[in-house]
C-alpha cells in the first residue's frame, strides 16, 4: 500500500476518490472548523463505526474507497488508521487539521 500525503488527500477528496475522517472531539471542530466533506468520527467511537458487523457502522465506509484520517497534529490519526486497518479499510494518516489547511484543503466552519 502506498502512502497518501495530505496533498494527495486534498486532490482525491475533491474528485470523490477518498473518504476523509476527522477524529477530533466536537469542541475541537467548533473551535477551528473541519475539512469540507469530512466525516466526523471521534476516535473513541471509531471502532464501532468502522466495524461492518456493528449496528452503528458508518455506511460511507462501505464504499471501499481509501480513507484519509487527521486529528489535531497526527497522533490520534495514527491510532485511528490502526483501528480502520483492523476492519479491512485502507487507511492513511495525513496528520493534523493544520496540514489539511496548509495543503489548500477546503474548510467548513
Enumerate the domain spans of the chain: 6-108
* 66 pLDDT more than 80: yes
Strands (E) located in the chain: 19-22, 34-35, 39-40, 67-71, 91-96, 107-108
Helix (H, G, I), strand (E, B) or coil at 2: coil
36 near 83, Cβ under 8 Å?
Answer: no
What is the average pLDDT value for the chain, to the nearest integer?
Answer: 96
Q: Which CATH number fits domain 6-108: 3.40.250.10, 3.40.50.720, 3.20.130.10, 3.50.50.60?
A: 3.40.250.10
Closest listed residue to residue 78, CA positions, set 91, 97, 61:
91
Q: Distance between terminal CA atoms of the chain?
A: 33
Q: Write the pLDDT tens digit of every residue in 11-57.
A: 999 999 999 999 999 999 999 999 999 999 999 999 999 999 999 99
Cell of 51: 466495524
Amino acid at each position: 500500500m502506498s502512502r497518501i500525503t495530505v496533498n494527495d488527500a486534498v486532490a482525491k477528496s475533491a474528485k470523490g476518490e477518498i473518504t476523509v475522517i476527522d477524529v477530533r472531539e466536537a469542541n475541537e471542530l467548533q473551535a477551528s472548523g473541519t475539512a469540507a466533506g469530512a466525516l466526523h468520527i471521534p476516535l473513541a467511537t471509531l471502532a464501532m463505526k468502522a466495524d461492518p458487523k456493528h449496528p452503528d457502522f458508518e455506511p460511507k465506509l462501505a464504499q471501499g474507497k481509501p480513507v484519509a484520517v487527521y486529528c489535531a497534529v497526527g497522533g490520534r490519526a495514527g491510532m485511528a488508521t490502526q483501528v480502520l486497518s483492523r476492519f479491512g479499510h485502507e487507511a492513511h494518516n495525513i496528520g493534523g487539521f493544520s496540514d489539511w489547511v496548509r495543503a489548500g484543503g477546503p474548510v467548513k466552519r
